[in-house]
């Protein structure tokens, strides 16, 4: 399954992406704001990527992880994933290499995965959380058509740090296609 947008191609993650994932995830300002532990070694990143690749082979995957590729030059930009915490509820996650921040790539990729979740996969809700101290991530979710629903106090614990997260969501009943920018309404 490969998804496309005007500027991007979203393809299933591959084992060969592991060094790129590791290079991104170990950059200052990537893993902690995104809410996942910084990988300590390339081997740890390879194992994480292998688990994501294995999910694609399952009959009913619990998480679909896509590599974000810029179509004009095949540059690897980052990851976007869709998991299923409850039946019919898709949850988004994403990370972009800092060299590509501020160009709208994350929003474009997330918008396409929202479209996949509601369209082809039949979700009745799509949601995501982001750290209250990460305004860029909140902007990605707003630009993807999700609405800020509130603050989850003490929601995420990483090591000794307990942090608050914003919850963003969109229900099919909200008229999800109307929430998307014109170029994605189809």
Domains of the chain as residue ranges with CATH: 3-184 (3.40.630.30)
Nearest-CA neighbor of 88 among 118, 64, 114?
118
Structure tokens at 9: 């191609």
pLDDT at 34: 60
Query: Residues 83-136: pLDDT tens digits?
Result: 998 899 999 999 999 899 999 999 999 999 999 999 999 999 999 999 898 898
The dihedral built from the CA positions of residue 142, 81, 69 and 182, taken in this order, carries a sign that is negative
Return the higher-pLDDT residue of 35 and 80: 80
Averaged pLDDT of the chain: 87
Per residue, what are the HEC states of the chain? CCEECCCEEEEECCHHHHHHHHHHHCCCCCHHHHCCCCCCCHHHHHHHHHHHHHHHHCCCCCEEEEEEEECCCCCEEEEEEEEEEECCEEEEEEEECHHHCCCCHHHHHHHHHHHHHHCCCCCCEEEEEEECCCHHHHHHHHHCCCEEEEEEEEEEEECCEEEEEEEEEEEHHHCHHHHCCHHHCC
Structure tokens at 112: 């396409």
Specify the range with the lowest mean pLDDT, choosing from 24-33, 47-56, 83-92, 153-162. Answer: 24-33
Residue 184 pLDDT exceeds 60: no
């Amino acid at each position: 399954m490969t998804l496309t947008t005007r500027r991007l191609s979203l393809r299933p993650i591959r084992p060969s992406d592991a060094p790129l994932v590791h290079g991104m995830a170990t950059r200052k300002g990537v893993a902690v704001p995104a809410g996942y532990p910084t990988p300590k070694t390339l081997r740890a990143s390879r194992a994480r990527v292998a688990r994501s690749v294995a999910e694609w082979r399952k009959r009913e995957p619990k998480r679909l992880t896509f590599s974000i590729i810029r179509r004009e030059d095949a540059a690897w930009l980052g990851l976007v994933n869709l998991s299923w915490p409850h039946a019919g509820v898709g949850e988004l996650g994403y990370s972009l290499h800092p060299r590509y921040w501020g160009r709208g790539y994350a929003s474009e990729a997330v918008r396409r995965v929202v479209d996949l979740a509601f369209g082809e996969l039949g979700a009745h809700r799509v949601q995501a959380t982001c750290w209250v101290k990460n305004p860029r991530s909140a902007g990605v979710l707003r630009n993807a058509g999700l609405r800020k629903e509130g603050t989850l106090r003490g929601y995420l614990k990483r090591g000794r740090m307990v942090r608050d997260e914003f919850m963003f969501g969109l229900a099919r009943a909200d008229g999800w296609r109307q929430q998307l920018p014109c170029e994605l309404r189809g």
